[in-house]
Each structure stands twice: as structure tokens, then as C-alpha cells.
């Protein structure tokens, strides 16, 4: 219950902050409209604020709070992701501009066991943003990936061990 209240206040404060920034007005009337709207929207969304863990046989289902993220570790990760995004784009641009177009598209699956759904969301989004790979489907903890080239597929899911990006997201959430 206490956790729920904390999540609720975080969401309504974020919404209220957005209102202030986007409206740019600081008089009492606008602030009050913003505060009421933020509280009502957060109330409507309150059932989304807790997500249950990805089911793995033998482990009891846990509830995760959406805003309960490792923020300190998240920012270095975002910086790394931004740099990867630039590299990905240069790669794709080179492929597009190459007259022979040396691509070998393929669909493959790999498994990454994590119980927090938010971690899965971050990993899936990161995969879509970076070198030549798109997340096609995520079922429980099995990822279906479409890769543009052989090397992109191998960098994400090497023949032995696990790729750089799943390992990083795993470290991010200590799983």
C-alpha cells in the first residue's frame, strides 16, 4: 500500500512538472488546473504502476513497481546506448549507400532470463535501436530478433556465452 502511494505521487509529480513546463504559466489558476489534471490522470493509470514478474516455473510471482529503477546506473547506460545508436546509424547508412548492398537478413531467437518486465522493456527497445537488429517478438523471456547482417546477429547472441547488450541490461538490474 505504501509502495503504491509512492508510485502514485511520483507519477502525478512528473505529470504536474510536464504541465508547468509545457504551459509556461505560473499563475494560481493554471497551476490548479494542472494539479487536478495530473492527480486524475495518475489515478486512472494507477493499475499500470505495478507489474508482476515474468513467470518462470518454480519461482513465485513478484510485484515490481514501475518507477523503482536503478537511476544511478541508468544514466551511464543511456549514454552508452546513444553512442551505439550513432554507430548503428552509420552502419545502416553505409549498407544503404553500398551499391552491392552486402546484407544477409535472418531471424533468430535467444533467451535472456530476467524477472523484472521493465528490464525486458529496456532490453527490447535497446535492441531495436542498435546495430542492424529489430526485436520482432518477446514471449516471456524468449526474444525473436530480425538481424540485417551476420555480424549484427553474432554480436547480440554469440555462439557461446551472452552478448554485450543483454549482459549490460542484466547488470543494470542485478539479474
Partner 1 sequence: MRILAIFFLMGGFFFTTVAALGVIRFPDFYTRLHAAGKGDTLGIALSITGLALYHGFNLVSLKLMFIVFFIFLANPIGTHVLSGAAYKTGIRPWTGKGE
C-alpha cell at 64: 515490481
> Which C-beta is closer to partner 1: that of 9 or that of 23?
23
- φ/ψ region of 161 (left if φ > 0, alpha if ψ in -120 to 50, else beta) reads left
Query: From the CB of 56, what's the least distance to partner 1, in Å?
Result: 22
CB of 144 to partner 1, least distance (A): 7
Q: Kindly report the backbone phi and psi dihedral angles of residue 107, in degrees, each rounded to the nearest multiple of 5, phi listed first.
A: -110, 130
Q: Residue 43 Cβ, how far from partner 1 at the closest point, in Å?
A: 23
* Shortest spacing between CB 21 and partner 1, in angstroms: 6
Q: Which is nearer to partner 1, 17 or 167 (CB)?
A: 17
Kindly tell me which of 50 and 128 has the beta carbon lying closer to partner 1.
Answer: 128
Instruction: Please say which residue, 39 or 103, places its beta carbon nearer to partner 1.
Output: 103
Could you list the residues that contact partner 1 (CB under 8 A)? 18, 21-22, 24, 85-86, 88-89, 92-93, 95-97, 101, 103-107, 124-125, 128-129, 132, 134-137, 144, 146, 148
Amino acid at each position: 500500500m505504501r509502495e503504491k502511494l509512492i508510485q502514485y505521487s511520483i507519477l502525478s509529480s512528473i505529470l504536474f512538472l510536464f504541465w508547468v513546463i509545457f504551459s509556461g504559466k505560473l499563475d494560481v489558476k493554471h497551476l490548479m488546473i494542472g494539479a487536478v489534471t495530473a492527480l486524475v490522470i495518475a489515478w486512472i493509470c494507477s493499475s499500470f504502476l505495478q507489474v508482476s514478474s515474468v513467470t518462470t516455473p518454480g519461482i513465485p510471482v513478484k510485484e515490481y513497481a514501475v518507477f523503482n529503477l536503478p537511476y544511478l546506473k541508468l544514466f551511464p547506460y543511456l549514454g552508452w546506448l546513444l553512442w551505439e545508436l550513432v554507430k548503428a546509424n552509420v552502419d545502416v547508412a553505409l549498407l544503404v549507400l553500398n551499391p552491392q548492398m552486402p546484407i544477409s537478413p535472418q531471424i533468430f531467437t535467444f533467451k535472456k532470463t530476467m524477472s523484472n518486465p521493465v528490464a525486458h522493456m529496456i532490453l527490447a527497445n535497446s535492441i531495436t535501436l542498435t546495430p542492424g537488429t529489430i526485436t520482432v517478438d518477446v514471449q516471456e523471456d524468449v526474444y525473436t530478433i530480425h538481424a540485417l547482417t551476420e555480424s549484427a546477429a553474432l554480436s547480440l547472441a554469440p555462439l557461446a556465452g551472452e552478448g554485450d547488450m543483454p549482459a549490460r541490461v542484466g547488470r543494470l538490474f542485478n539479474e
